[in-house]
Structure 1
Amino acid sequence: MKRTYEDIFPNQDFSHLLQTVEQYLSNDTPLWWVNFVGEEVGDFPSPIACLWMGNAINQITGLRHAHLFLLYVLPEHRRRGVGKALIQYAETWAKKRGDQQIGLQVFTNNLPALNLYNQLGFQTQSLWMIKLIDK
């Protein structure tokens, strides 16, 4: 998760992300890793991508649905279909659970992610807006 944010917002402190993971990672929010065969770190395969899914509530219908917390592919492995394959895997997982949609949040300056999600049929349903306020 930290690498994802560091790619988009360099020079930021992301120490708070550990709290997010501790709060939301559970048996109901699976995390899948993609390992690159042949590359190892110590005795373990070297992960090149991950996908973390969770739960959300559709604010219109009130139904639970799958929510994509995190999709990350190492830069040197991007544009090879890894992210697309992970999203397709997530769709299969969500369908088996009975979910009717997958939601996600994406930063407006993350053009590669926006392009991928648009190609896979995701559509903007709402905009998350913020206003910075003085202390």
Structure 2
Amino acid sequence: MEIAPLREADLDAFVAELWLPAKREMAASMTGYDLDERDGVRETGRSHYRARLDDDETVTYLGREDGDLVGYVSAELRAPAPIFEAIHECHVSDLYVTPEIRRRGAGRALLDAAEEWGRLRDCAHLDLNVDADNEAAVSLYEAAGLTAERYQMQKSLD
């Protein structure tokens, strides 16, 4: 699999082939989240990722297999509250692999690319959030050396 940073020329295909399918899958698996498929949602995605292209504190890598887009990972630099020691963390905000190539190493390769990006920016940690019932993703992340450090707890206010 080829991994390369997202470029302006990739935006339309990225949004249509990876970002929207990833968000649709996420919305289908998360209680209380409905995807807003209004007109302009593609432009919203393009605009968001276009802005990230010029931001040195974020990265999006695309995975390609035989020229086809098959996955992506997005990461950003984060710092703790100013009262704590000034360290950087590499936060993976999105990782998605198309269903037809899952469990063939693409997710790990994309995660490794984000980890290397964070390492080159002197990050002390890599972190991410994962749904507790997403066993495949939890397995991938544990195999990559991530451990659960906190629990995110939620309560509906409806």
Shorter-chain TM-score category?
Answer: 0.7 to 0.9
Amino acid in the other structure paired with 2:97 = V
Q: Identity percentage over the alignment?
A: 23
Q: Is the 8 A contact 1:57 1:65 kept in 2?
A: yes
In the TM superposition, residue 8 of structure 1 has moved relative to its aligned partner by 4.4
Tell me, which stretches of 5 or more residues in structure 2 are unaligned? 1-18
Q: TM-score with structure 2 length normalisation? A: 0.68
The residue aligned with 2:25 is 7
Q: What pairs with 1:38-49 in structure 2 (closer than 5 Å)?
A: 45-49=67-71
The equivalences for 1:64-75 within 5 A come to 64-75=88-99
State the one-letter code of the partner of 1:65. E
Q: Is 1:92 aligned with 2:116?
A: yes
1:9 is displaced (CA, Å) by 4.0
Deviation at 1:92, TM superposition (A): 1.3
- Superposition RMSD in Å: 2.7
The counterpart of 2:75, out of the listed 53, 56, 61, is 53
Mapped partners of 2:78, 2:116: distance in 1: 17
Q: Between Structure 1 and Structure 2, how many residues are aligned?
A: 126
Q: How far is 1:6 from its partner?
A: 2.6
Partner of 1:40: none
- In structure 1, stretches of 5+ residues that fail to align are 38-44
**Corresponding residue number in structure 2 for 1:116:** 140
Superposition misfits of 4+ residues, deviation over 3 angstroms: 16-19, 58-62
